[in-house]
Chains A and B, each alone.
Chain A
Amino acid sequence: MGEPDTAEPDEARRIATEARDRVRFEEEALALADQVYRVARRFVSSREEAEDLVQDTYARAFRSWQSYTPGTNLRAWLLRILTNLNVDRGRRIQRRPDELPLEEHDYYLANRVAETGGEQVLDQDRVVERLSQDSIVTALSSLPDDFRDVVVLVDIGDFSYADAAQILDIPIGTVMSRLHRGRRLLKATLAEEAIT
C-alpha cells in the first residue's frame, strides 16, 4: 500500500541505458573501420571485394552487438566476424601440398640482396626499398590463404599471437608455425620476383 510503482521507471532506465550502450558500441566500431579495412584489403584480391566484406562485417556486427563483451578487444571481435564471412564466401583456394611455393631459410632474401650488391649493401638504411611496394603486395597475395591470414593479422594488423588464434579459431602453436612459415614463403617469393 502506498508502495511507489518503480517498475516503469526501471524499465525506462534500462531501455535508455541499452540505447546508450548501443550507440557507443556503434561509434567505437566505426572508429576502427580504417584498421578493419586495412586487414580486409589484404585478405581479398580487389578493393570492391574488401569494401563488400567490410560492409557485411559491420552489418552483422551492428545486428549482434550484444554478443560483444564491453572492455574486450573490439577490433579482434570485428575481425573474427570478418574472417568467418570471408571463409563463408568460399573464394579461398585450396592448394595441394605440391603447389605450395618453395620455402627457404630466414636469411635467404637478405643473402640474395647481398649477392647482387655485395655484403656491405645490407648496411644501407633503405636497402629494403629495392623491393617495390607492388611486389610486396603481390607476394602477400600469392601466399596460401592459411599462411597469408596469419601474416596479415600479425604483421599488418598488429594483432598478438593470442588475438590471431582467437580470430582464426586455431591453436596459438598453429599461429606461430604458420606465421614463421608464411614469412619465409613471403621472403622466398620476393627473392624470386623482386630481385632481378
Chain B
Amino acid sequence: MLDPKLIEQWISAGLPCEHIEVDGDGHHFKAVIVSGDFAGLSRVKRQQRVYQTVLDKLNSGELHALSLQTLTPDEWKNALG
C-alpha cells in the first residue's frame, strides 16, 4: 500500500507545483497537478514531465497506476469557474 501523500512529495520534489492533489486506493492513483511549467507544452509533454519525477517508482513497479490531470495555473482557474 502506497500513501498518496508520498506520491505528492515525489512529484513536487521534481516539479514546481502550484497545486497538487493525489488520491488513491493504495494501488491506483489519480493526480491533479497544477504547474506553470506546463505552459506551452502538449498533453504528452506535460505527462512526460510528471512521469520523469516518478520514473524509478514506475519502473520498479512500486507505483503501478497513476492517472494524471495536468493544468497550468490559468487552466486551473478556468476549470474552477
Do A and B associate with each other?
A: no
Interface residues of B (CB under 8 A from A): none
